[in-house]
Amino acid sequence: MITHIVLFRLKDRSPENIERTAEVLRSMEGKIDELLSLEIGVDVLRSGRSYDIALTAKFDSLEALGAYQIHPVHQEIVRYMSEAGEASVSVDYETN
The span from the CA of 49 to the CA of 62, in Å, is 30
Segments of the chain scoring below 70 in pLDDT:
none
Q: Domain spans of the chain?
A: 2-94
Strands 37-42, 53-59: parallel, antiparallel or unpaired by DSSP? antiparallel
- For residue 60, the model assigns a pLDDT of 98
- For residue 83, the model assigns a pLDDT of 97
The span from the CA of 90 to the CA of 96, in Å, is 20
- For residue 40, the model assigns a pLDDT of 98
Provide the 10 A C-beta neighbour count for residue 88: 15
| Predicted TM-score (pTM) of this structure | 0.95
Q: From 2, 4, 1, 3, select the one nearest 77 (Cα to Cα).
A: 4
Among 3.30.360.10, 3.40.50.150, 3.90.550.10, 3.30.70.100, what is the CATH number of 2-94?
A: 3.30.70.100
- For residue 72, the model assigns a pLDDT of 98
- For residue 8, the model assigns a pLDDT of 98
